[in-house]
């Protein structure tokens, strides 16, 4: 007995050595690790002990932060054995490790491993905002047996910028959870949830020894593209460089970067006055990007929207080419900083610059972001300054504020304005929560040279109360309900009432892993000041909108998604409802191969489309859309994906209208034509993983867009969309990362 005690003490006292990440948890490797067994339910969010036993180990090693999970899962609980692609959304058995390397609640990193060794990673900012565009380099492995399954994860210390350690120790924020795919139950340590206003700052704090780790990585690439429509080829070479000498300084650079389409964006037909937001998967703009997150607390609004860089050129000659881009991240004490610069090629090339600094004061943090864009083709210089503040005055109250100002110099004339947001969240206990939000954006505020803001020129306020029911009777099909009731007011900055709304929403989880979301919006009469693009605001009667979504994970060979919406609007208000219905069944041929086909139908009987000045067309619109494809995980390194989207839209004129001096629609006999729109996007993508973050891509893409002034049957328009061929390209890209 004495010998066993001495052996245990000697193992606990030696420095942590390398852990072999093979999915098999060996006691000798994990000696001295922090052992966690108190996993409690956070989905449903009731804090009760998990239904299935879960335990985890956390160990700081010179190679990185190592985490192991043991997940008991007896034969009575079905296992989800399907193989998933990187950044999967599938409802499968999985574990999450989330790490805040500074322990200050500002930025976290999420590492997900499924029971079949599929992975997902994301950056977490603004407490609950997840961005899966980032892909990191980390180790993972799983194993299973009759009683359950195990996972091991190793996260290198160079993954993220970190503040300097104190007295040889570092304080991390850590969150662990385990999700059972067949039931949707999430068991976590500590009891923190992204359904609450605070998540990042509620991570458990652990002390680990300070380890230093550096990285110098070069990822050269070569790509060749053949344009089958224009009969020409294009070859390009370049490299991404990543240098992380320590946790307090990291540099990322891109030389002659290739931002070719190995990812495909969803098709959108947008005749509205506001821009469609599109996420960014380009590696340079996702690495160490969390420091630049400056949300204006309104949907996707932000001051640094990286899709602007290399986007449509100011001279209208297609996408801009980027010569080079560089990014610095680091920290001094509890102050973090980041600098980003990108330069485009040619006479119409733009320069984008951003500088960010944040400082942590414990229960408060203060930050500043400055952006500058030079656009010589437009004789335009855009400067934007933002300041944001986060405060947790009590354990229940969270307050976030920001102010932003822009200075636009174009053709020798300045335009300046400002805006700001304040949001307060109060947890009241017993599942109750309140939220107050107020926003003001001046009519001359312009942040979209580098940022993204759907609109300026408005004042907005809402009050929302929530109630969570997470301990439903055992015989209920549901495991939880979350009710939201909101009232809001939206005016433009000149006092014109745009909207008053009552919103009632319920989000629910079922015991078989299905999720439901139902929402009713009741809108009063108001003015639309964007439709005519500045040529007069149009008065619109009251309207309603009811939305329902149900997502059922895989049961047997099938999974289903249903979206249904009924709404009113236009000049007729509530007199003639429209609808949208989408059904997406997925059939699993086996655990590695799934096929989906999701048709959707939409009818908007009172659709208003701007023509010119203050002339609008009123249309009866029918749309048929298909989203289809398959995903084949050939083996752990290879995958083949086919994605097809086709849209056929038919709009038949009900009449032309002018916006009168009093804001009412006045019938006009000016010519306005019927029209139809066809849109196609097809991508066939093969990816082979040569090594971590090193890939061979072979991508075939075809697409097109067409619009004409003829009225046709919606089915015929949709059928004709499949013949579009504005673009047809074959891309081969090889990139290989060399770590030094």
pLDDT in tens, 681-737: 999 999 999 999 999 999 999 999 999 988 789 999 999 999 999 999 999 999 999
252: which 2 tokens? 């990322």
Rounded-to-integer distance, Cα 699 and Cα 330, Å = 37
Domain membership of residue 691 as a residue range: 530-740
Confidence class of residue 398 from pLDDT cuts 50, 70 and 90? very high
Q: Report the percentage of the chain scoring pLDDT > 90.
A: 86
- 44 preceded by cis ω (within 30°)? yes
Give the model's pLDDT for residue 13.
Answer: 38
Here the CATH number for the domain that contains residue 191 is 2.60.40.1190
SS3 431: coil
The predicted-structure confidence for 364-386, as pLDDT tens digits, reads as follows 999 999 999 999 999 999 999 99
Q: Which residues are CB-contacts of 233 (< 8 A; sequence separation ≥ 6)? A: 224, 225, 226, 227
pLDDT at 259 over 60: no
For the chain, give the mean pLDDT: 93
pLDDT band of residue 11 (cuts 50, 70, 90) is very low
Question: Is residue 450 domain-resident?
Answer: no
| DSSP state, residue 305 | -
- Measured torsion, CA atoms of residues 85, 88, 89, 94, in degrees rounded to the nearest 10: 100
CA atoms within 13 A on the CB side of 597: 1
Q: What is the pLDDT of residue 298?
A: 66
pLDDT of 467 higher than 90: yes
Q: What is the pLDDT of residue 266?
A: 84
Residue where the block lists tokens 């609640």? 105
Cα separation, 141 vs 152, whole angstroms: 5
Q: Tens of pLDDT along 638-668?
A: 999 999 999 999 999 999 999 999 999 999 9
- Taking the mean position of all CA atoms in its chain, how far away is CA 364? 26
Spell out the residues 6+ positions from residue 474 whose beta carbon is closer than 8 angstroms to its own.
Answer: none
Closest CA to 25 of 79, 83, 66: 66
The reported pLDDT for the residue numbered 16 is: 43
- 186: tokens are 């999430």
Average pLDDT for residues 156-174, to the nearest whole number?
92
Within a domain: 502? no
* Residue 400, in any domain of the structure: no
What is the residue-wise DSSP string for 620-665?
EEEEEEEEEEEEEEEETTEEEEEEEEEEEEEEEEEEEEEE-TTS-E
Establish if 514 belongs to a structural domain.
Answer: no
76: CB partners within 8 A, 6+ apart = none
Of 498, 519, 487, the residue nearest 273 (C-alpha): 498
Output 658-663 pairs: Cβ under 8 A, ≥24 positions apart: 658/614, 658/615, 658/616, 659/532, 659/535, 659/536, 659/537, 659/538, 659/614, 659/616, 662/539, 663/527, 663/536, 663/537, 663/538, 663/539
Look at residue 260 in the predicted model and tell me its pLDDT: 56
Residues 6+ apart with CB under 8 A from 150: 23, 24, 25, 68, 69, 70, 71, 142, 143, 144
Is the residue at 581 inside a domain?
yes
Query: 508 vs 333, which has greater pLDDT?
Result: 508
Within-domain flag for 64: yes
Overall domain count for the chain: 2
* pLDDT given for residue 709 in this prediction: 86
pLDDT of residue 268: 85
In a domain, 262, yes or no: no
Compute the distance between CA of residue 423 and CA of residue 198 in angstroms, rounded to an integer: 13
Per-residue pLDDT at 12 exceeds 70? no
pLDDT reported for residue 319? 87
Is 106 within the bounds of a domain?
Answer: yes
Q: Look up tokens 């950044």; give the residue.
A: 87
Strand partners, 610: 616
Stated pTM of the model = 0.91
Tell whether the model's pLDDT for residue 4 goes beyond 90: no
Query: pLDDT for 211-229, tens place per residue?
Result: 989 999 999 999 999 999 9
Q: Write the DSSP assignment of 712-739 as a string of letters.
A: --HHHHHHHHTT--SEEEEEEEEE--EE
**Interval 561-580: pLDDT, tens:** 999 999 999 999 999 999 99
Percent residues over pLDDT 70 in the chain? 97
Mind listing the pLDDT tens digit for each residue in 547-557? 999 999 999 99
């Amino acid at each position: 007995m004495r010998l066993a005690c001495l052996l245990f003490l000697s193992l606990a006292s030696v420095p942590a050595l390398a852990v072999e990440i093979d999915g098999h948890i060996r006691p000798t490797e994990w000696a001295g690790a922090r052992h966690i067994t108190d996993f409690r339910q956070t989905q449903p969010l009731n804090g009760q002990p998990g239904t299935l036993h879960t335990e985890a180990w956390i160990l700081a090693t010179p190679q990185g932060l190592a985490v192991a999970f043991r997940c008991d899962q007896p034969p009575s609980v079905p296992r989800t054995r399907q193989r998933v692609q990187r950044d999967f959304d599938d409802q499968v058995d999985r574990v999450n490790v989330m790490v805040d390397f500074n322990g200050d609640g500002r930025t976290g990193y999420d590492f997900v491993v499924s029971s079949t060794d599929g992975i997902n990673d994301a950056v977490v900012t603004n407490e609950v905002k997840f961005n899966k565009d980032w892909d990191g380099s980390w180790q993972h492995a799983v194993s299973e047996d009759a009683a359950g399954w195990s996972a091991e994860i190793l996260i290198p210390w160079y993954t993220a910028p970190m503040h300097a350690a104190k007295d040889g120790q570092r304080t991390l924020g850590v969150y662990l959870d385990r999700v059972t795919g067949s039931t949707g139950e999430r068991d976590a340590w500590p009891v923190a949830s992204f359904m609450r206003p605070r998540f990042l700052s509620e991570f458990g704090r652990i002390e680990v020894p300070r380890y230093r780790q550096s990285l110098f990585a070069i990822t050269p690439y070569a790509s060749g593209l053949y344009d089958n429509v224009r009969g020409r080829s294009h070859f390009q070479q370049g490299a991404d460089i990543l240098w992380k000498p320590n946790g307090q300084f990291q540099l990322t650079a891109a030389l002659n970067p290739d931002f070719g389409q190995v990812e495909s964006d969803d098709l959108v037909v947008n005749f509205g006055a506001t821009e469609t937001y599109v996420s960014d998967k380009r590696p340079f703009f996702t690495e160490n990007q969390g420091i630049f997150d400056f949300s204006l607390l309104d949907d996707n609004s932000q001051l640094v929207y990286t899709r602007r860089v290399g986007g449509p050129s100011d001279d209208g000659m297609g996408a801009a080419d980027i010569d080079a881009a560089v990014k610095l991240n680091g920290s001094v004490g509890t102050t973090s900083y980041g600098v980003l610069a990108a330069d485009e090629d040619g006479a119409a090339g733009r320069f984008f610059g951003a500088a960010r600094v944040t400082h942590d004061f414990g229960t408060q943090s203060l930050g500043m972001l400055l952006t500058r864009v030079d656009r010589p083709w437009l004789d335009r210089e855009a400067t934007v300054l933002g300041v944001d503040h986060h405060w947790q005055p009590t354990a229940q109250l969270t307050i976030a504020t920001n102010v932003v100002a822009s200075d636009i110099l174009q053709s020798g004339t300045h335009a300046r304005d400002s805006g700001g947001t304040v949001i307060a969240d109060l947890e009241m206990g017993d599942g109750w929560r309140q939220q107050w939000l107020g926003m003001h954006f001046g009519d001359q505020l312009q942040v979209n040279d580098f940022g993204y803001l759907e609109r300026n020129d408005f004042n907005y306020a809402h009050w929302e109360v929530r109630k969570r029911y997470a301990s439903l009777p055992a015989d209920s099909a549901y495991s939880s309900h979350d009710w939201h009731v909101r009232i809001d007011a939206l005016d433009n900055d000149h006092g014109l009432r745009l909207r008053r709304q009552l919103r009632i929403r319920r989000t629910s989880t079922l015991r078989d892993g299905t999720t439901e979301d139902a929402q009713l919006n009741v809108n009063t009469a108001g003015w639309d000041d964007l439709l005519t693009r500045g040529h007069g605001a149009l008065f619109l009667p009251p309207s309603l909108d009811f939305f329902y979504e149900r997502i059922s994970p895989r049961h047997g060979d099938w999974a289903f998604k249903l979206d249904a919406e009924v709404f009113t609007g236009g000049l007729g208000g509530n007199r003639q409802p429209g609808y949208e219905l989408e059904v997406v069944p997925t059939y699993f041929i086996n655990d590695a191969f799934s096929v989906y086909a999701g048709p959707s139908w939409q009818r908007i009987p009172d659709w208003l489309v701007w023509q010119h000045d203050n002339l609008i067309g009123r249309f009866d619109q029918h749309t048929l859309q298909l989203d289809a494809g398959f995903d084949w995980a050939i083996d752990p390194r290879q995958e083949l994906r086919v994605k097809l989207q086709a849209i056929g839209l038919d709009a038949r004129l009900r009449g032309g209208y002018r916006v009168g001096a009093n804001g009412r629609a006045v019938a006009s006999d000016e010519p306005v034509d019927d029209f139809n729109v066809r849109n196609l996007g097809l991508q066939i993508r093969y990816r082979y993983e040569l090594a971590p973050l090193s890939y061979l891509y072979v991508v075939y893409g075809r697409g097109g867009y067409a619009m004409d002034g003829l009225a046709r049957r919606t089915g015929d328009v949709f059928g004709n969309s499949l013949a579009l061929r504005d673009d047809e390209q074959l891309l081969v890209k090889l990139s290989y990362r060399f770590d030094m």
